[in-house]
Structure 1
Amino acid sequence: MSDAAEIRAQLAARQKNHALPRSLYCDEAVFQADLAHVFAREWLFAVPACQLVKAGDYATLQIGAYPVIVVRGADGMIRAFHNVCRHRGQRLCAKSTGSTPKLVCPYHQWTYDLDGKLLWAKDMQEDFDPRAHGLKKVHCVDIGGMVFICLADVPPPIADLAGALGRYLAPSGLKEARVAHVSTIIEKGNWKLVLENNRECYHCGGAHPSLCRTYSDNPRMTAMDGPDAASPDILAHWQRCEAAGLPSRFVNHPDMQWRLARIPLLNNADSYTMSTKPAVRGKRMGTIPFNDAGSLLFFHYPNTWNHFLADHAIVFRVLPVSATETEVTTTWLVPGDAVEGVDYDLKELTEVWLATNDEDRQVVEENQVGIRSPAYVPGPYSLVQEEGVIQFVDWYCNTLGARLGPDPALAAE
């Protein structure tokens, strides 16, 4: 597949409520189109704000060809920049995380303030203007303790998401939380397969024995059509939680790019642990009023899904590496005053999702191997079990198709 016309043809040819054609999961040209028209133009979850505790704390990420740095400034603001020196293009920070009083290029020591201003460049000519050579900014916003960035010159609107997410996250107190553990793995599968796998629990009973102790694989658990339309157990959970001040009812973007809803855990469990009891003992996130508040589920296409529980939170970031490789970073957050070894055991806190992530990795990788076969033919989705997958695939195809633009041959007719 070599050009936009062929990709448009593949998108147009897909069968409704079926998996995508082989090339859309494997082809390099499609991967480059995904980077250019999806990942470079959407708001992406970067890091939890509490990962950047003090001035100079930074995190880096790679979005296609773009290295980006997210850093907390001396004024407490979190900003994002292209991680590229304005001199000769050297990457400023190579480590995934760190802390520095100034951003100093390791090549020729051009030095930038944490707000991106160029402070020092050795032996430049008299007419050199440092103000014209500050770091290039990347759009950055902190919503309730989740930092999102956008590479586009003009980012898409984010006010609706900011309003809903900020309100729903407020009781979890993410800005006062702290990072307990970070895990990054590479899944040898296309990023869309990673997202599709997350959007259904059709596979959970067979693949996730640890998670299924506490998370129901009943599709009715997450089949919601509005703030008053869900299974009776979820409606009852919403009423109880909202009476205690926890926003809980289903809310979503019109095209399902994002969704928020709080669900009860299975069998009155308190947390995603093997014991079903809280992993963090005697402490709760923010102002969560009771242990069995369930999990606030939040996803935002194209790169994040999240679980916010009473005792801890788990945030996920997905970044494409190649047409058949995806980086998945999972971060566990606990109350800011929780002490490892005293208030929680790290193994107990992380073991369910470490196991689940590895199980999902295996599923995605085998899925990719099968799709690469010339014998692969897209199969039908279950309208009962894979509603979330259908929503994601529709969002992806509509988004990419609109940004590739109309077929010039058709437009000329």
Structure 2
Amino acid sequence: MLSQSETLSRLLARQSGYALERDLYCDPGVLEADLQHLWYREWLFAIPACELEKPGAFATLQIGAYPVVIIKGKDNRIRAFHNVCRHRGQRLCAKTNGATTNLVCPYHQWTYDLEGKLIFARDMGEDFDPSKFGLKKVHCVDLGGMVFICLAEVPPPISDLAPKLMSYLAPSGLADAKVAFSSTIVENGNWKLVIENNRECYHCGGAHPSLCRTYSDNPRMTAMEGPDSASPDIIEHWKRCEAAGLPSRFTNHPQMQWRLARIPLLNGAESYTMSTKAAVAKRMGTMPFNDAGSLLFFHYPNSWNHFLGDHAIVFRILPISPTETQVTTNWLVHKDAVEGVDYDLETLTRVWLNTNDEDRQVVEENQKGILSPAYEPGPYSPIQEEGVMQFIDWYTGIMTQRLGPVSGTGPALAAE
């Protein structure tokens, strides 16, 4: 198990333009460093806001050592808390999702309201002050229907992302959406391999026959800072979309931690379906036409997303172990769309269920090969794997900075 100083040395020794060395994809000490310096300090996509339909609806997730519960209050505001009772530490909510009137600890029935205030604790004595034992808060923001959380005491700025994301997502009307289907799988691969696989389509032609009916594997379409003048199709697509009120131009974080980009689908396709036609009769929000293409949004370290005219697909990854990653996918449709009338669930989900399983196989075989003593890092394609190179540069840059002598050792909890 590598120490943090050894992890730093490996990162500093990395050859630019090459994959990471073996231990950086499988060592428990490296994962612990990743958790402490990235996952516990960055904003993470948690859930689509529409997953919590009514007050009392909750969802849970596990971020490294931290169980978290996200819940909608009576004021319809979404809040997040550490999913830990202030009495003896029992998890308050064991289910992935559900609904409740109050948060009641199953151990000794300490009870918290939906805003995290302790409202009942039996037989604690006259000197007990319940106001000192409210749930510990986790920073939580809803950006245009996507809920982000941050475990750090002082989270990094999100003001650069917030206005851009809310503007680009506004036509999709996520506040008026619902979850039509949800899938959670475990990929037996390091979380960085899952992100790397997502950041390129070099593998798409050989691995994703369903997706390639509608999604272009031309690397110029999704070049990191936008297509060049040799991609007239996307320029014309932007003009058409922008004339209809859809923000479309590539926009990004200075270090590319996130990016928004609207791209056309292949040959006028309307959606990610086997027929290439829209899967849902009722469009999302105020989307003006079916063939608006896909608004792509990624945010490191844990999310990539597609927003189309007829539905949206949001993805969240969470590390489980050095070589296991949980991948959760939610398909969103207009809240008034009726299954069996406005959409067929198999038609809606088939392409990405296929693609997710194909990606799982790719990542798992990638991990198995990297575990071999014969593995050594190979060079990335600057044409096909520009996105992977950028992700690895972002990862190594932020980790070497935070693993330095003045970096902290872990997150402090947000103030109550």
**Structure 1 segment 50-65 matched on structure 2, within 5 A:** 50-65=50-65
For 1:397, the equivalent position in structure 2 comes to 396
**1:2-34: per-residue Cα shift (whole Å, max 9, x none)?**
312111110011110100010000100000111
**Structure 1 segment 74-93 matched on structure 2, within 5 A:** 74-93=74-93
For 2:193, the equivalent position in structure 1 comes to 193
Stretches of structure 2 that go unaligned for 5 or more consecutive residues are: 408-416
For 1:42, the equivalent position in structure 2 comes to 42
Find the aligned partners of 2:215 and 2:227 in 1 and give their Cα distance.
21
Stretches of structure 1 that go unaligned for 5 or more consecutive residues are: 409-413
**What is the root-mean-square deviation of aligned Cα atoms in Å?**
1.2
Q: Classify 1:134/1:29 alpha carbon distance in 2 versus 1 (closer, same or farther; 3 Å).
A: same
Find the aligned partners of 2:266 and 2:144 in 1 and give their Cα distance.
27
State whether residues 181 and 332 of structure 2, in contact with CA within 8 Å, keep that contact through their aligned partners in structure 1.
Answer: yes
State whether residues 5 and 407 of structure 1, in contact with CA within 8 Å, keep that contact through their aligned partners in structure 2.
Answer: no
Q: Does 1:113 align with 2:113?
A: yes
State whether residues 227 and 251 of structure 1, in contact with CA within 8 Å, keep that contact through their aligned partners in structure 2.
Answer: no
Letter of the 2:311 counterpart: H
Letter of the 2:377 counterpart: P
TM-score (norm 2): 0.96
Q: Does 1:366 align with 2:365?
A: yes
Letter of the 1:46 counterpart: A
Letter of the 2:305 counterpart: N
For 2:284, the equivalent position in structure 1 comes to 285
For residue 159 of structure 1, give the secondary structure of its aligned residue in structure 2.
coil
**1:214-244: per-residue Cα shift (whole Å, max 9, x none)?**
0001111111525986721111111110011
Find the aligned partners of 1:217 and 1:54 in 2 and give their Cα distance.
40
Find the aligned partners of 1:103 and 1:128 in 2 and give their Cα distance.
20
Letter of the 2:312 counterpart: A
For 2:322, the equivalent position in structure 1 comes to 323
Q: Classify 1:222/1:334 alpha carbon distance in 2 versus 1 (closer, same or farther; 3 Å).
A: same
Find the aligned partners of 1:210 and 1:323 in 2 and give their Cα distance.
30
Find the aligned partners of 2:229 and 2:15 in 1 and give their Cα distance.
29
Runs of 4+ residues deviating >3 angstroms: 226-230
Find the aligned partners of 2:311 and 2:60 in 1 and give their Cα distance.
24
For 1:354, the equivalent position in structure 2 comes to 353
Find the aligned partners of 1:110 and 1:66 in 2 and give their Cα distance.
20
State whether residues 227 and 234 of structure 2, in contact with CA within 8 Å, keep that contact through their aligned partners in structure 1.
Answer: no
Find the aligned partners of 1:175 and 1:398 in 2 and give their Cα distance.
36
TM-score (norm 1): 0.97
For 2:128, the equivalent position in structure 1 comes to 128
For 1:411, the equivalent position in structure 2 comes to none
Find the aligned partners of 1:407 and 1:116 in 2 and give their Cα distance.
34
Please state how far the C-alpha of 1:400 moved relative to its aligned partner: 1.1
Letter of the 1:271 counterpart: S
For 1:295, the equivalent position in structure 2 comes to 294
For residue 160 of structure 1, give the secondary structure of its aligned residue in structure 2.
coil
For residue 338 of structure 1, give the secondary structure of its aligned residue in structure 2.
coil
Please state how far the C-alpha of 1:101 moved relative to its aligned partner: 0.4
Please state how far the C-alpha of 1:407 moved relative to its aligned partner: 9.2
Find the aligned partners of 1:392 and 1:208 in 2 and give their Cα distance.
22
Find the aligned partners of 1:335 and 1:138 in 2 and give their Cα distance.
29
For residue 383 of structure 1, give the secondary structure of its aligned residue in structure 2.
coil
Find the aligned partners of 2:15 and 2:2 in 1 and give their Cα distance.
22
State whether residues 228 and 235 of structure 1, in contact with CA within 8 Å, keep that contact through their aligned partners in structure 2.
Answer: no
Q: Does 1:259 align with 2:259?
A: yes
State whether residues 223 and 230 of structure 1, in contact with CA within 8 Å, keep that contact through their aligned partners in structure 2.
Answer: no
Q: How many equivalent pairs are there?
A: 407
State whether residues 184 and 328 of structure 2, in contact with CA within 8 Å, keep that contact through their aligned partners in structure 1.
Answer: yes
State whether residues 84 and 90 of structure 1, in contact with CA within 8 Å, keep that contact through their aligned partners in structure 2.
Answer: yes
Find the aligned partners of 1:352 and 1:174 in 2 and give their Cα distance.
22
For residue 161 of structure 2, give the secondary structure of its aligned residue in structure 1.
helix
Sequence identity percentage = 75
Find the aligned partners of 1:29 and 1:5 in 2 and give their Cα distance.
10
For residue 183 of structure 1, give the secondary structure of its aligned residue in structure 2.
strand
